Amino acid sequence: HDRYGSHKSGIVAFKNAFHGRTLFTVSAGGQPAYSQDFAPLPADIRHAAYNDINSASALIDDSTCAVIVEPIQGEGGVVPASNAFLQGLRELCNRHNALLIFDEVQTGVGRTGELYAYMHYGVTPDLLTTAKALGGGFPVGALLATEECARVMTVGTHGTTYGGNPLASAVAGKVLELINTPEMLNGVKQRHDWFVERLNTINHRYGLFSEVRGLGLLIGCVLNADYAGQAKQISQEAAKAGVMVLIAGGNVVRFAPALNVSEEEVTTGLDRFAAACEHFVSRGSS
């Protein structure tokens, strides 16, 4: 506001996004199912279509202070952003003097085969949120910022009750030390290939999915029209077969295993998933 005036307060986010469950983050997430029980919601948050740069361009103007986006929509269906989309957002933010924020709570710390997903795209955000894997199971989150943005965060302006906890910081430092190695990150990419090859084999056999997508070890299997809306039922069959899988909405079965999962564990788990798919399909046709 000091630089551009008080009118510069708009935020552009994206439909089907998920950024958390506080009042502000649930408002930025473009999913009414999460925000409908909260009121009043913060004003001037506009939602564009994800992966549609023309939709974003129609909303981003000189009143926009920030654009927040997930490099891969996790809860929204494991939808990776295209290179052109993220590069277009960077250009729009530069043109209108807006901050570009990447929410990498799900995609960060090695999940995609790079330390952070933005590294796949060659697009650097101004701010980046990270958590979940950052603590390897220990509760911790962090905000990363460019030097220009960090300069305005004077001591105390970004303080929180548990911020800077020494134990959490030590754990996060060790996690980064273990994960930010060529062996670990290249291993994630190799494991992606294991999953995709086996999932495509399962799909060839049972014809459940229209697409297997994602980066690294964040993978989504999109149900085709014949099985639309039944991801939860498939996850329940998988649990009965002895393997836990996630869902991302009603149409996507999601896999997000440990980054060091072994090939034997992948084979065993997906054999069980195949059995679950067989039972699901046979039950539906009986």
Query: H helices then E strands: how many in the chain?
Result: 10, 12
Residue 263, in any domain of the structure: yes
3-state secondary structure of 274: helix
* Residue 84 backbone phi and psi in degrees, to 5: -65, -35
CA 135 to chain centre: 17
- Please indicate, yes or no, whether residues 186 and 161 belong to a single structural domain of this protein: no
Q: Residue 98: which domain range?
A: 10-179
Given a cut of 70, whether residue 7 has pLDDT beyond it is yes
Alpha helix ranges (H) inside the chain: 23-28, 32-35, 53-59, 83-96, 118-121, 147-150, 166-179, 182-206, 231-241, 263-285
Question: What pLDDT shows up at residue 159?
Answer: 81
What CATH code is carried by the domain that includes residue 249?
3.90.1150.10
* Residue range 178-197: mean pLDDT, rounded: 98
Question: What pLDDT shows up at residue 95?
Answer: 97
Last residue of a domain, one of 179, 201, 219: 179
Given a cut of 50, whether residue 45 has pLDDT beyond it is yes
What CATH code is carried by the domain that includes residue 109?
3.40.640.10
For strands 252-255 and 246-247, give the pairing: antiparallel
3-state secondary structure of 129: strand
What confidence tens digit (pLDDT) does each residue in 119-155 have? 999 999 999 999 999 999 999 999 999 999 999 888 8
Question: What pLDDT shows up at residue 1?
Answer: 62
Total domains in the fold of the chain: 2
* Residue range 50-55: mean pLDDT, rounded: 98
Question: What pLDDT shows up at residue 220?
Answer: 98
* Residue range 232-237: mean pLDDT, rounded: 97
Question: What pLDDT shows up at residue 57?
Answer: 98
Which of 200, 217, 210, 169 lies closest to 273 in space, CA to CA?
Answer: 200
- Please indicate, yes or no, whether residues 136 and 186 belong to a single structural domain of this protein: no
Radius of gyration of the chain (CA): 20
Residue 81, in any domain of the structure: yes
